[in-house]
Structure 1
């Protein structure tokens, strides 16, 4: 059963954070919260930092998710 033309999620690749138009803007509140939580869970407090960009926060979140085997 199909829910429409985009049923293959793996073909919908995420754009590289370095290519984001708004990547230089400060991280969002949601990113801040998630990054802080993941850095604590991974015992890597250095991964969290105030004042980083959206793009950098996204990269750090992905690294921590991989380290925690959440992907």
Structure 2
């Protein structure tokens, strides 16, 4: 249980690994696709257009590191 009981685990990282997402196997969102397209162009990479949400998120994080965006 989380909330007022204070029983939640003290973890300052609120982000889950994309591979643990419940909806991680869903197709990437239009927002992810657009942002990933921009980052991939800046990095000079081509990526498949049928990525899952989790895969897109991982590529976004990786490309942000490459492009500095």
**Taking structure 1 as the reference length, what is the TM-score of the superposition?**
0.75
Structure with greater helix percent: 1
Runs of 4+ in structure 1 displaced over 6 angstroms? none
Question: What is the Cα deviation at residue 32 of structure 1?
Answer: 0.4
Say what the alpha-carbon RMSD is for the aligned residues: 1.1
In structure 1, runs of 5+ residues without a counterpart are 1-10
Query: How far apart in 2 are the matches of 1:40 and 1:26?
Result: 21
In structure 2, runs of 5+ residues without a counterpart are 1-11
Question: What is the Cα deviation at residue 24 of structure 1?
Answer: 0.2
**Taking structure 2 as the reference length, what is the TM-score of the superposition?**
0.77
Counting matched residue pairs gives 58
